[in-house]
Amino acid sequence: MDFLNTGSRPTFRNAVREEIIDITLAFRNVWSEVMDWRVSKEVSMSDHQHIVFRLKRNPRKINWVGYREELKAKISSFRVTYETTEDIDHCSRILRDIIISFYENNCELRLKRPSKSAPWWNKSLEKRMKKVRRLYNNYKKEIEKAGVEGWKRYCKSRSTVSDTARLYIVLQHPKKPLTDSIRLVTGDWAKNGQEALKSLIKTHFPDFKEGARSEAVKLMARREDWRLMKRITDKARIR
- The full DSSP string for 95-115 is HHHHHHHHHHHHS---PPPPP
User: For 82-132, what is each residue's pLDDT tens digit?
Assistant: 778 888 888 888 888 888 888 878 887 765 555 556 677 788 888 898 999
pLDDT tens digits, 21-48: 898 888 766 677 777 888 988 888 888 9
Per-residue pLDDT for 219 more than 70? no
Q: What integer pLDDT is reported at residue 205 of this predicted model?
A: 76
pLDDT confidence of residue 86: 83
Domain borders along the chain are 2-56+111-115, 64-106, 120-174, 176-206
CA dihedral sign, ordered 155, 160, 164, 166:
negative
- Report how far residue 141's alpha carbon sits from residue 137's, in angstroms, rounded to the nearest whole number: 6
Q: What is the pLDDT of residue 106?
A: 85
Name the least confident of 11-20, 27-36, 173-182, 198-207.
173-182
pLDDT digits 0-9 by tens, 191-217:
777 888 888 888 877 777 666 555 555
**Pick from 99, 103, 106, 100: nearest CA to 78:** 99
- Checking if the pLDDT of 158 tops 60, the result is yes
pLDDT at 135 (0 to 100)? 92
Q: Report phi then psi at 223, rounded to 5.
A: -65, -35
